[in-house]
A and B are shown apart, each in its own frame.
Chain A
């Protein structure tokens, strides 16, 4: 049996991999026809397990729906209420699930490196749905897809990522993905959360919110409350964060697109008026999540099968 392919990190992909996945997503997307993605028989009879050790709404829901739209059987395991509560290790949980011979395991875990352990311990294709502060590759791909739909290009596009980049797996994956397709990235936020060490990621950085002015896309990260808790000292208060780095209508030019991976803290990192404006791509991001995750599962589990050749399930 050939080694299963995985999607663990954007760092493992080349530009052609990204373009192939985006192209598959376009083929699956029914939006131009005013439809949701059609149901395809691609993964009929195969099992996709979602294994989530952290809370999630959109990622877990969209993976499950994506698998179902590809006619896979799905099984969804949450750490709460499972044997994890009885102290079962990740490895043993994975060995248990592997006994059902899943084609793919989609895993989210608070610890960096967890999907690599899952890949070592099971014969399934593994998709990283977020490991600690490291990677969230399908989020980056769906963001690229969203940007591509909005602008029709990547080359020369300028994206400002605003907020807690230091602890953001979304930012890490997105920076790499934007680099692959030729977009420029500026990181903006408090010097403690966008420290000099992040220059290694190959981006410009600024602690002034005015640096978003020249961006085509302002990508706003969630400000996690634990960074504000007493003793953490990343920012002195939520109030000071919002005053300096909150994305408000006054700080944006008309036509600048705004993105957010969710869940949003309205009124903290993002002003409600911006979130609900016509320049907000937040809802499109959620919609992209479904087709891109379909495309990823398709790419890993049915490589070489062209989406156009698949008959739609009636």
Chain B
């Protein structure tokens, strides 16, 4: 279901050390890892490339903000070998026709493989199911109404039942809209001070509880997107322990920032779900470490400059993330010792691949070459001019990070570096 480009595959050699420390030289022939030799002098880390299960490519409809070409170039620069794109476009990816046209464009313009999710409900309106069967046959990577919750419990239940036809998971944005309505940031001490409408953690966790109960009842898998509340993680742990096939993702910004940051009123700190309190953020980091949350997802959400250059309260939700995710998490989680490098690499690659039934990028002879080479020493400053994304609504603009992607090999081709 990943759309790949049938490019010419040159022979490639990459030299680095494994996260465990051993130096290696890897030879890629015809897109496949042909040889791994125990030699080399490079200090850079060579690892399976990353998989991002949550990207907004804004195509069709907002090509001024991102295209498949620019979004996949940004992903390649971030060390990704595959991404999954969200269907909340204009038109919505709710028919096999729209899906096929995107797959065709991705084959032509995509620098790395792209999987397209289709919507659960027609037009994301939460009323009628899309043709999940046909969309599944046409290669939909998964189903989601992302950007919106599936408000109707009955519709979600039918979708869980019917998606059995497709073998593809449902990915859910969990938000009880009557609790989060008029919310611009997480409800708490900071929202009380700033007077911004509060989006309580409860709005996420009550929906997580409901969705997990439905998945348990239907014995169907479920993927929870961009978790932001400690109570959601606790519900997920309980469900997993009870045998529910539930997976989850968390974004770099929810792992690094807290609602305290919003005191600056920078519109690039506004996203949905909103930044959590410090105690919830600690729960998210621990869940990523333990594996309760197995995936890092950027929720890369490009917005035009004019849309974000407005007062905080008037700004749309969403921040970019493809080009900064590894460096941000290396700087803020690995360097301070909150999680290990090995764990981070796993949660950015195999974790998301497994959650969506995609081939896991592997560093082994015979595997398709999906590799990333990382310089852990390099300090660099995040600058708007250097983004490959068409948008620059990054929460990291102007900040200094450590750890940089040097090269990315996706589906056997050198796509960055």
Which residues on A are within 8 Å of B, measured CB to CB? 11, 89-91, 109, 111-114, 116-117, 131-135, 167-169, 172, 176, 197-198, 200-201
Instruction: Collect the chain B residues with CB atoms within 8 Å of residue A90's CB.
Output: 310-311
Query: Does B187 lie within 8 Å of A91, measured CB to CB?
Result: no
Q: From known contacts A112-B313, A116-B265, infer whether A132 and B195 are also in contact, taking CB-CB under 8 Å.
A: yes
Q: From known contacts A112-B196, A113-B265, A133-B196, infer whether A89 and B187 are also in contact, taking CB-CB under 8 Å.
A: no
Instruction: Collect the chain A residues with CB atoms within 8 Å of residue B263's CB.
Output: 11
15 A/B residue pairs, CB under 8 Å, sorted by A: A11-B193, A89-B309, A90-B311, A111-B314, A112-B195, A112-B311, A112-B313, A113-B265, A116-B311, A117-B310, A167-B195, A169-B195, A176-B193, A197-B187, A197-B189
B291 at the A interface (CB under 8 A): no
Query: Does A89 lie within 8 Å of B312, measured CB to CB?
Result: no
How far, in angstroms, from A201 to B187 measured CA to CA in the complex?
Answer: 13
Q: Classify chain B: how many residues form its interface, as a range.
A: 20 to 34
B198 at the A interface (CB under 8 A): yes
Query: Does A89 lie within 8 Å of B306, measured CB to CB?
Result: yes
Q: From known contacts A112-B311, A117-B311, infer whether A201 and B265 are also in contact, taking CB-CB under 8 Å.
A: no
Extra inter-chain contacts (17) besides given A112-B265, A200-B190, CB under 8 Å: A11-B193, A89-B310, A90-B310, A109-B311, A111-B311, A111-B313, A111-B314, A112-B196, A112-B313, A113-B267, A116-B264, A116-B312, A133-B195, A133-B196, A134-B194, A197-B188, A201-B192
How far, in angstroms, from A284 to B191 measured CA to CA in the complex?
Answer: 32
Instruction: Collect the chain A residues with CB atoms within 8 Å of residue B390's CB.
Output: none
How far, in angstroms, from A134 to B267 measured CA to CA in the complex?
Answer: 15
Q: From known contacts A90-B310, A117-B309, A131-B311, infer whether A112 and B194 are also in contact, taking CB-CB under 8 Å.
A: yes
How far, in angstroms, from A81 to B192 measured CA to CA in the complex?
Answer: 34
Instruction: Collect the chain A residues with CB atoms within 8 Å of residue B309's CB.
Output: 89, 91, 117
B253 at the A interface (CB under 8 A): no
Closest 7 CB pairs of A and B: A113-B312, A200-B189, A133-B195, A111-B311, A114-B311, A113-B265, A111-B313
Interface set, chain B 296-338, CB cutoff 8 A to A: 306, 309-314
How far, in angstroms, from A11 to B190 measured CA to CA in the complex?
Answer: 12
B184 at the A interface (CB under 8 A): yes
How far, in angstroms, from A67 to B64 measured CA to CA in the complex?
Answer: 44
How far, in angstroms, from A133 to B194 measured CA to CA in the complex?
Answer: 8
Query: Does B198 lie within 8 Å of A172, measured CB to CB?
Result: no
* Interchain nearest-CB distance for A204 vs B (Å): 15
How far, in angstroms, from A109 to B312 measured CA to CA in the complex?
Answer: 12
Q: From known contacts A133-B195, A134-B194, infer whether A113 and B311 are also in contact, taking CB-CB under 8 Å.
A: yes
Instruction: Collect the chain B residues with CB atoms within 8 Å of residue A197's CB.
Output: 187-189, 191-192, 198
Instruction: Collect the chain B residues with CB atoms within 8 Å of residue A112's CB.
Output: 184, 194-196, 265, 311-313
Instruction: Collect the chain A residues with CB atoms within 8 Å of residue B188's CB.
Output: 197, 200
Instruction: Collect the chain A residues with CB atoms within 8 Å of residue B189's CB.
Output: 197, 200
Query: Does B313 lie within 8 Å of A113, measured CB to CB?
Result: yes
Can you name the residue of chain A whose Cβ is closest to the Cβ of B185? A112
* Interchain nearest-CB distance for A218 vs B (Å): 22
Query: Does B195 lie within 8 Å of A172, measured CB to CB?
Result: yes
Can you name the residue of chain A whose Cβ is closest to the Cβ of B306? A89
Query: Does A111 lie within 8 Å of B312, measured CB to CB?
Result: yes
How far, in angstroms, from A89 to B264 measured CA to CA in the complex?
Answer: 21
Instruction: Collect the chain A residues with CB atoms within 8 Å of residue B197's CB.
Output: 133
Scan B196-218; emit 1 where CB is below 8 A from any A CB, else 0: 11100000000000000000000
Scan B254-282; emit 1 where CB is below 8 A from any A CB, else 0: 00000000011101000000000000000
How far, in angstroms, from A116 to B265 measured CA to CA in the complex?
Answer: 7
Instruction: Collect the chain A residues with CB atoms within 8 Å of residue B184's CB.
Output: 112
Q: From known contacts A89-B310, A90-B310, A113-B312, infer whether A134 and B192 are also in contact, taking CB-CB under 8 Å.
A: no
Query: Does B313 lie within 8 Å of A200, measured CB to CB?
Result: no
* Interchain nearest-CB distance for B259 vs A (Å): 11
- Pick from A109, A111, A114, A201: contact of B193, CB below 8 A: A201
- Pick from B192, B198, B310: contact of A91, CB below 8 A: B310
Can you name the residue of chain B whose Cβ is closest to the Cβ of A110? B313
Can you name the residue of chain B whose Cβ is closest to the Cβ of A91? B309
Instruction: Collect the chain B residues with CB atoms within 8 Å of residue A198's CB.
Output: 192
Can you name the residue of chain B whose Cβ is closest to the Cβ of A8? B265
Instruction: Collect the chain B residues with CB atoms within 8 Å of residue A176's CB.
Output: 193
Instruction: Collect the chain B residues with CB atoms within 8 Å of residue A133's CB.
Output: 195-197
* Interchain nearest-CB distance for A261 vs B (Å): 15
* Interchain nearest-CB distance for B215 vs A (Å): 31
* Interchain nearest-CB distance for B203 vs A (Å): 14
Instruction: Collect the chain A residues with CB atoms within 8 Å of residue B198's CB.
Output: 197
Can you name the residue of chain A whose Cβ is closest to the Cβ of B262? A113
How far, in angstroms, from A131 to B264 measured CA to CA in the complex?
Answer: 14
Can you name the residue of chain A whose Cβ is closest to the Cβ of B263? A11
Instruction: Collect the chain B residues with CB atoms within 8 Å of residue A117's CB.
Output: 309-311
How far, in angstroms, from A197 to B312 measured CA to CA in the complex?
Answer: 21
Instruction: Collect the chain B residues with CB atoms within 8 Å of residue A113's CB.
Output: 265, 267, 311-314
Instruction: Collect the chain B residues with CB atoms within 8 Å of residue A111's CB.
Output: 310-314
* Interchain nearest-CB distance for B317 vs A (Å): 14
Can you name the residue of chain A whose Cβ is closest to the Cβ of B265? A113
Query: Does A132 lie within 8 Å of B313, measured CB to CB?
Result: yes
* Interchain nearest-CB distance for B266 vs A (Å): 8
How far, in angstroms, from A113 to B313 measured CA to CA in the complex?
Answer: 7
* Interchain nearest-CB distance for A163 vs B (Å): 15
How far, in angstroms, from A114 to B267 measured CA to CA in the complex?
Answer: 11
How far, in angstroms, from A83 to B387 measured CA to CA in the complex?
Answer: 34
* Interchain nearest-CB distance for A251 vs B (Å): 27
Instruction: Collect the chain B residues with CB atoms within 8 Å of residue A167's CB.
Output: 195
How far, in angstroms, from A311 to B10 measured CA to CA in the complex?
Answer: 83
How far, in angstroms, from A113 to B185 measured CA to CA in the complex?
Answer: 13
How far, in angstroms, from A131 to B265 measured CA to CA in the complex?
Answer: 12
Max count, chain A CB within 10 A of own CB: residue among B191, B192, B198, B311? B311
* Interchain nearest-CB distance for A56 vs B (Å): 18
Query: Does B310 lie within 8 Å of A134, measured CB to CB?
Result: no
* Interchain nearest-CB distance for B198 vs A (Å): 7
